[in-house]
Structure 1
Amino acid sequence: MHSLSPYCSWVNNRLPALRFNLLAKQKTDGIIRGQVLSISLEASKMFRWRGRAQVEEMPSFLELPIRLNGLAGRVDFFTEFGSLLGVRGEVIYVEVNPLGSFINEVDHVTVITTKGQYDFVLKTFSSWGLLKWFPLWIASYARANFSVSGKSRLKNELRARIALEKAGVKVPCLYCYDMKRMKAMYEFIKGENLDEQVKTARKNDNVENLEGTYEKVGLEVAKIHSSGYILGDCKPANVIQSSNGQLYYVDLEQARSGNKRLSGWDVCEFLMFTGRFFLLPKKARKLCEAFLRGYLEEGDKKVLREAASIKMSQPFVGLVSPAVIQSLRSLMLEYAE
């Protein structure tokens, strides 16, 4: 398995000085996971993200028309653009498999070449993808103000990558994006998200083993908030712990600059999505206390008071045990004192 992380810095810091004019190709339609994709190759260029620009501006990473129509089209794409994405050797085979549930619209792309195997994550930002958090969006009305359109969510991800890196938090490397088709290709992080880890720990009755990880997540979320940013969709499933123990934050399509009210939503959502795995509060409190300890190393107690409010926890009624909701609200108020 090849690690492409060093190449991420190379793309962002060295290659941007160059300009690549890509040849226009004939428009073709292809199907991936049952969805018709336009794969017209338009003239594109590489631009660099200039550090002097504000986070609110649109960062310009490597913009490529992403076409993956069947095996032949996938091989053609990586044959033509693979060198820009860190792929070495002659492309032999490209496989695309869904990651997670069918509504996530996230795929694991595996590229086999004569030099080895390369892995990517391909994410599509369509209106269909809203289903994964639509119920919370309805229930939380004025709390998180979710972005709806695919294009705005893709822009959120591109901006958030800059903001989180400045805050000292790890995110998967972004290799390229296609604004027209609302797609982006990222580094594949080999590891397990915290959702799966909590379920395993609950089954094995050793949730205390995750306290250190939760404390670190709390600290990093506080760093993000201190930088003036919020995650918007902050839950254990969106934190991946890599095989070497590093934490990576994914699914940043709702991230944006925020305030203490929105920061409170981040904290409340993370704790409630942790609590949903438990009928009784005792074990949930262990993990959530660890998160709050970490958060208060750099975070503001006012955020915890906002997170503990009834309006923040109301959307989770029916998803989380009432006893757990009340216990976690009390816990946040204790740490807010």
Structure 2
Amino acid sequence: MGESFSDIAELVLSCLRAGSTSVKSISLHGAIALGYENEPYYVLVVLEGDSPPRFQRLKECIQADLVVTIGEENFKGDCVDEGLGGAIASLLLFPYKTMLGDQVLDAAEVEYKRHVVLESLQNLILDYKLASSHLLIKAEYFLFDKLRKISAIHLPVRRLVKSCFHDHLSESLRLVLPGYEHALDDLVSQGILVRRGERYSPSEEYVFSTLSKSSAFLKLSRELEHSFKLYLSASLSSPIEPLKELALDPMILRPVKLPEPSRYVERETALGPQPLNVELGLRDFVETFYGVKPERIRIRRAASALNSAYIIEFPMDGSRMRIFAKKYLNWTDFKWVAAWLWAVGVKNFSLLASIRMGNEIYFVNKLMELGFNTAEILHVNWSGRILFQRFVEGLDLARALRSSPDEVLVTHGREIGMLLARLHENGICLGDCNPSSFILAADDRIYIVDLEQCSYDDSYAWDLAELLYYSARYLKPEQEDIFLSSIIRGYTEVGDIKVVEEAMDPKYARVLAPLILPRNPSEFREKIMQLARR
């Protein structure tokens, strides 16, 4: 280099007339830290006290875009929670070289990157709901997610972004990623993240905590607040002439091409991790993962025309393979609007497609983790709201009830009662616990499907009540006692008899009674209680 780092530091201090005793740290930010002296860079000077940020152009530092001075207290505040919109702390996203005060900058970098990670993590959770707990995130995601936001809001920094992360990407990553890894490991130790090899996932506890406290509106308002603070800090609180000079550079008017952040996030599936930005349609998925030409793929709707589920069938290894796909709809999904209106005040159903899809992804993985049988996830098209799952060969309980002999009903009733009680033991409620949610597979295993209304809301009595009422709808009158008593017996072998008693609460009868018409709901409730007392 024509000038050494120490020469630049001394020159800056001389121009600022800052005594060395009042300076806590001085650092150069940009590709200059990689050894490229002709690239744009910023000089950051942290002073004692709480002086406000000041942005200056120094003629003596020809290549320096700006010299930024700030008091240590304000600098720390910007690192901890972007009190200045990240106008100063964002310099720590870039490669930098410290001439004075290594410890000040090292601690500030980890603190700021911890904030950046949490901000991006919370946004991912708000976007992907419960499904976010099964995302696999690399450190690069948090870097590029933040850089894209900053370069879109604060145009002058684009010169630095282009120089470091477009022109010298690999070298820059070697310097900036260790700070992220320190921050990520710190969040792992706090239980916010779970480390999975070289990737990270938000912990279930943190996902539930974030969803209970935040909303998409808060996400938007938080981003707007950061933008406002950034403009305020970078313009109004400092001499504006230096920024006007930068605005004359046409480079800052052109968006910088950065790697797409979603490239660094993957989803867990039964076919292995899949990039978040790979989202396929029904035929595209089969062609991509199974190599089958579109013309050989047959797609048909499952159940009625109002249903949003599909069965994809195609030839594979001399036989026919089937995959189940579900497209989640919002208010146009008549089934859940009707259910919500009918059960209001008794059971809260999730209506939004993103919430229901997130529930299903989360609980499919959770049930498998706990040892229950369910349909594995093969692919997720989040923006299209399509979930691909392994097709479970078998007969759903609703159809089995119409044709099974008494001894089979006794066996299945007891098994399903025990299965439901085991779910409840783990704190899980199905929410939509009707006979179609249970598939009797050819290998004698029972699979639990259709998990979009699952929750941890303690509505155990609702689950059992819905199963009993719905089952009665499909049973022959002479088989009703046999099957329902078997469910109750199986449930009470594992679960609590009080749940059976609560399931016969009149509030559930009000909602579910139409399923057993023309029978008298009171007589049905009394019969269930008699069966429970046997």
TM bin (shorter chain): 0.7 to 0.9
Is it true that 1:265 corresponds to 2:473 in the alignment? Answer: no
Residue number in structure 2 paired with 1:138: 341
Residue number in structure 1 paired with 2:439: 240
CA contact (8 A) 1:231 1:256 kept: yes
Divergent runs of 4+, >6 A: 47-52
The aligned runs of 1:73-92 (5 Å cut-off) are 74=283, 76-80=284-288, 82=289, 87=290, 91=293
Is it true that 1:256 corresponds to 2:450 in the alignment? Answer: no
Deviations 1:107-160 (A, max 9, x none): 110122566533210100002663235433322212220000111000110111
Counterpart amino acid of residue 287 in structure 2? T
Q: Which stretch shifts more, 247-256 or 112-121?
A: 112-121
Deviations 1:146-178 (A, max 9, x none): 000111000110111133224432101111111
Shift of 1:184: 0.3
Structure 1 pair 251–318 and aligned structure 2 pair: CA distance change class (3 A): same
Residue number in structure 1 paired with 2:409: 210
Structure 1 pair 246–182 and aligned structure 2 pair: CA distance change class (3 A): same
Cα distance in 1, alignment partners of residues 436 and 522 from structure 2: 22
The aligned runs of 1:272-291 (5 Å cut-off) are 272-278=469-475, 280=477, 282-291=478-487
CA contact (8 A) 2:315 2:321 kept: yes
Deviations 1:296-319 (A, max 9, x none): 121112211211100011112333
Is it true that 1:313 corresponds to 2:504 in the alignment? Answer: no
Cα distance in 2, alignment partners of residues 298 and 161 from structure 1: 22
Higher relative contact order (CA 8 A, sep 6+): 1
Structure 1 pair 330–165 and aligned structure 2 pair: CA distance change class (3 A): farther
Cα distance in 2, alignment partners of residues 312 and 286 from structure 1: 22
Cα distance in 2, alignment partners of residues 231 and 329 from structure 1: 22
Counterpart amino acid of residue 110 in structure 1? E
Structure 2: stretches of 5+ with no match in the other structure: 1-135, 139-194, 209-265, 269-273
Identity of aligned residues (%): 23
CA contact (8 A) 1:234 1:269 kept: yes
Is it true that 1:156 corresponds to 2:372 in the alignment? Answer: no
Counterpart amino acid of residue 286 in structure 2? F
Structure 1 pair 325–165 and aligned structure 2 pair: CA distance change class (3 A): farther
CA contact (8 A) 1:125 1:183 kept: yes
Shift of 1:294: 0.8
Deviations 1:28-82 (A, max 9, x none): xxxxxxxxxxxxxxxxxxx9797993278499434441223xxxxx2x54333x1
Shift of 1:222: 0.5
Structure 1: stretches of 5+ with no match in the other structure: 1-15, 19-46, 69-73
Counterpart amino acid of residue 471 in structure 2? T
Cα distance in 1, alignment partners of residues 399 and 390 from structure 2: 20
Structure 1 pair 117–324 and aligned structure 2 pair: CA distance change class (3 A): same
Residue number in structure 1 paired with 2:279: 65
Is it true that 1:182 corresponds to 2:381 in the alignment? Answer: no
Secondary structure of the residue aligned to 1:232 is coil
Is it true that 1:294 corresponds to 2:294 in the alignment? Answer: no
Cα distance in 1, alignment partners of residues 532 and 486 from structure 2: 14
Secondary structure of the residue aligned to 1:314 is helix
RMSD: 3.1
Cα distance in 1, alignment partners of residues 502 and 348 from structure 2: 16
- TM-score, length basis structure 2: 0.47
